[in-house]
Structure 1
Amino acid sequence: MSGGVVSGGGPVLLLADDRPTSFSRYAVRALPGRLALLRFAAVRREMCDKYLRETAHLPAFWVREGVPLEAEVRRYEEWSAAALPAPPDRFCNPSEPRQAVAQRFAELAGLPHLTRQQVRWVRDKHAMKEKFRELGLRTARHARIACAADVERFAARCGWPLVLKPVDSSACVDTFRLTGPPCLAQVRFGAREWMVEEHLGGTEWEVCGIVHDGQVLDAWPSAMPCRPLDIVDGAMNANISVATAEGPPVDLRALLQRIVTGMGIDHGYLHMEFFLIDGEVFAGEIGVRLAGCEITANHGHAYGFDVFGATLDVYLGRRPALRYGRRRCAGDLLLPLPRSGVVRRVTPREELLRIPGVVDAVLTVGPGDPVAARRASHNASGYVHVTGATIGEVERRMREVLDAFVIEVAPAAHLTGPVAAGHRTETRET
């Protein structure tokens, strides 16, 4: 636990905080005196020291590792009563990996939360797809599996290629496209639960939305120049919010509303992936949490409004006024992190900002920093926000950024521990 003061009028938010994000930094600025942090000691090594210093003034409750959650909630209630002028009455968990434990903590603490069934629908990808089908949505054919033989039996029915993933995966970690039986040699089946699904063609899209009082207030589509499974193999890592007529010919708000109603979601931020095949929608996956990378921020740039403020409103129990400004396309391009080691040189932020269309640039590493590359869709050395009139213009400008961007990483075979495992640079889920 750490010190700080919660004061002032209005709701007090308990924010589950397991890594630095643009949203968490916004909440720190927007809720002076009305924000407390919920942190988990089990992932302390994943939080960069700089961010911990930035937020040291805030009240933070650390959930200990290996202690029953019921006992930790009792300790939290004692801490809250003793350390805070007003206890939190609202809750937000932006993290995909911490969804189950964070929502269970909120339930035990009497805060607004997702039920255990809702968590299962949005975290267990097999249960999620079964729920989609129950709601009348098309999905890829899929099955739970436990070994290579199960995969081959599924392939005998559905054919290759296939997609193999843990049922609780995020950021494409341990997710593979399999083109035939030899690919199974790279998979380590074990304690995790696995599933397999047919590989879908067509165009893959994303859509985000916010929910207040069970109603989807709006839906914002994103184009993906490259699919996530291509990204982890080296393709351009980008998402483009489309606030123009180039969006998919789908009633996205109605799509999200069907899921929100079917799952009984009261409020929050939604992030969904879907496929458009010959005019038909196939539901991919959905999360009830903020989108990863800088996708949420893209919507603010594309629609000309305070997207983080609107998101914060729904978690505080308020209906936001969605007043949009200029409409355009805007995307986040994650800058490459090609290898593990020590950064020797990286293109300065000022140079990136001079490239046409670049409206913001953030470098999360600098010369002298130890870094660890990972096979994950959030693997990056920073990001830029790029705007343009069309999807094509944004993508061309992103490729100009990649042509100009240079990062040199020298080998560092001596690196061990959290840095070598990839935990000390800032990471963003997708």
Structure 2
Amino acid sequence: MSDAEVLLMVDDRPSSFTRYAARESAGRLVLLRFEVTRADLPEGYLRETAHLPAFWVREDAAPEAEAGRYREWAAGLPVAPSRFCNPSEPRQAAAQRFARLAGLPHLTERQVALVRDKAAMKACFRELGLRTAEFERVRSGAAIGRFAARHGWPVVLKPVDSFACVDTHRLDGPDDLAGIDLSARDWMVEAYLGGTEWEACALVVGGEVLDAWPSAMPCRPLDIVDGAMNANISVATGEGPPVDLRALVQRIVTGMGIDHGYAHMEFFLIDGEVCVGEIGMRLAGCEIPANHGHAYGFDVFGATLSVYLGRRPDLRYGDRRCAGDLLLPLPRSGTIRRITSREELLGMPGVIDAVLKVRAGDTVAARRASHNASGYAHVVGASVGEVESRMREVLARFTIEVAAREPAVLLA
């Protein structure tokens, strides 16, 4: 593929990847933004990316009409995009449909279903001969109770299209269903798995998995949303799971007919046997991709951009180590009174980078989600244990004070 090709990339929130692309790909990058997510794009970020052409998809217009309007708009650019990248999980269906209507490379409707509808995804895993947790689509508490009677409590309840553990719950018994509205979304229930939970990321070009990188999770995502340490550790030192991850991801992307992209997978290792959890065809959340770059000593974002531009990246690694992202707590909603500075964080053992998303005086809203954070720190070490120990020291020294909002006073 020619270096002159231009990439149309979905931009629904600031991220390390989108910022990298904005810096490194001027002249070869066009942004696709959805009006429905405008509030998620801060004014500072919009100014930061103002040098790039951006097409806004209107919320109240038909997709076909918006795609036609885009084609007319893109015809006026120096070079119209011929490649497409969607790094957003919640925008997956709308983004891939837009790419199809605009005549760009895209996931088919079936492929979108396989990487977004978790029940369809797990059924596909089983068709490919892979082990998964027992699962079932449900619409009522009674159905959940019947499932638990067959497979035992606890169970995990989640919307079929959830991400980042949003609206995902561990249920230890029927009483835990109180307050959960099962009428608003499509839900599924699955058996709770023991063992060790891992993650793996991979780059795919021309249907081939180039490599796969494992991540250890000191705490499970379902524990994270209830307050456990929120971290992922890329393992480039041979401490990863005894699994041929490249072959495992290859089996899945071949079975789903995936041609190219960044794959992010979660799986369990139970008594030496793999039990596949979920897979997404987009960049991993939090700072997991950056972890891989730090752990393997290579430009992970540059390699990812090459993949979406239709080129095969040269994965030349440097010195290997373990590197993780520690998400810094955001304990509750309110106004930030005090927070540990970036300079203080960089002075802690193993911290090579730190980003604070909030500062004193900001009003914040905490969410029950695995990406809920006031910022993050990248922590490195010679082993998973050393990185985890350093992360816990960072948490012990990190301070954030949030004053609860005062209740509104109604004036007569």
| TM-score with structure 1 setting the length | 0.94
Q: Which residue of 1 aligns with 2:28?
A: 34
| 1:129 alignment counterpart | 122
Q: Determine whether 1:179 maps to 2:177.
A: no
Residue number among 311, 318, 324 corresponding to 2:304 in the alignment: 311
Task: Specify whether residues 265 and 18 from structure 1 end up closer, same or farther in structure 2 by C-alpha distance, changes over 3 A only.
Answer: same
- 2:11 is aligned to 17
**d(CA) in 1 for partners of 2:337, 2:390:** 26
Q: Give 1:240's aligned amino acid.
A: I
Question: Shift in Å at residue 9 of structure 1?
Answer: 5.6
- Residues in 2 aligned to 1:98 and 1:141: alpha-carbon distance in whole angstroms: 28
- How is 1:378-389 mapped onto 2 (pairs within 5 angstroms)? 378-389=371-382
Letter paired with 1:80:
A
Aligned residue for 1:397, secondary structure, equals helix
Correspondence list, 1:188-337, <5 A: 188-337=181-330
The Cα shift of 1:414 comes to 5.7
Deviation at 1:94, TM superposition (A): 0.1
Which residue of 48, 58, 61 maps to 2:55?
A: 61
Matched ranges for 1:394-405 at <5 A: 394-405=387-398
Structure 2 SS opposite 1:157? helix
Letter in structure 1 aligned against 2:22: V
Measure, in 2, the Cα distance between the counterparts of 1:191 and 1:213. Answer: 39
* 1:139 counterpart SS class: coil
Quote the residue 1:390 is aligned against. Answer: 383
Which residue of structure 1 aligns with residue 68 of structure 2?
74
Q: For each residue in 1:131-183, what CA deviation from the matched residue of structure 2 results, as whole angstroms up to 9, or x when unmatched?
A: 00000000000000001111001111111000000000001000000000100
Aligned partner of residue 138 in structure 1, secondary structure:
coil
Which residue does the alignment assign to 1:115?
Answer: 108
Q: Distance in 1 between matches of 2:158 and 2:126?
A: 19
**Equivalent residue, structure 2, for 1:4:** none
- Report the number of matched residues: 407
TM-aligned CA deviation for residue 294 of structure 1: 0.1
SS of corresponding position for 1:255: helix
1:186, CA displacement in angstroms?
Answer: 2.9
Shift of 1:412: 1.7
Deviating beyond 3 angstroms after TM superposition, the runs of 4 or more aligned structure 1 residues are none
In structure 2, C-alpha distance between the alignment counterparts of 1:163 and 1:190, rounded to whole Å: 17
Aligned to 1:369: 362
Partner Cα distance (1:404, 1:188) in 2: 39
Between the aligned partners of 1:47 and 1:29, the Cα distance in structure 2 is: 17
Q: Does 1:104 align with 2:101?
A: no
Q: How far does the alpha carbon of each residue in 1:171-199 deviate from its partner, in whole angstroms, 9 at most, with x for none?
A: 10000000001001131111310000000
SS of alignment partner, residue 178 of structure 2: helix
Partners of 2:356 and 2:375 within 8 A in 1: yes
Provide the C-alpha distance between the structure 1 equivalents of 2:273 and 2:321, rounded to a whole number of angstroms.
26
Instruction: Name the CA distance, whole Å, in 2 between partners of 1:383 and 1:358.
Output: 10
The aligned amino acid for 2:248 is L
Whether the 8 Å contact between 2:26 and 2:52 is mirrored in structure 1 is: no
- Taking the aligned partners of 2:74 and 2:312, their CA distance within structure 1 comes to 27
Does the residue aligned with 2:233 lie in a helix, a strand or coil? strand
- Gap regions ≥5 residues in structure 2: none
Mark the runs of 5 or more structure 1 residues left unpaired by the alignment: 1-7, 416-430
What's the offset of the Cα at 1:47?
1.9
Partner of 1:359: 352
Instruction: Supply the AA of the counterpart residue of 2:346.
Output: L
What is the aligned counterpart of 2:149 among 149, 156, 171?
Answer: 156
Q: Distance in 1 between matches of 2:30 and 2:141?
A: 46
Verify the 8 A CA contact 2:88 2:282 in the aligned structure 1.
Answer: yes
Q: Secondary structure at the match of 1:18?
A: coil
Partner of 1:418: none
- 1:89 equivalent to 2:73? Answer no
Question: Against the structure 1 CA distance between its residues 414 and 52, is the aligned structure 2 distance closer, same or farther, given a 3 Å change threshold?
Answer: farther
Quick check: 1:168 aligned with 2:161? yes
Measured after TM superposition, the shift of residue 313 of structure 1 is 0.5
- After superposition, the C-alpha distances for 1:86-121 in whole angstroms (9 at most, x for unaligned) are 100000000000000000000111101100000000
Cα displacement (A) at 1:49: 2.0
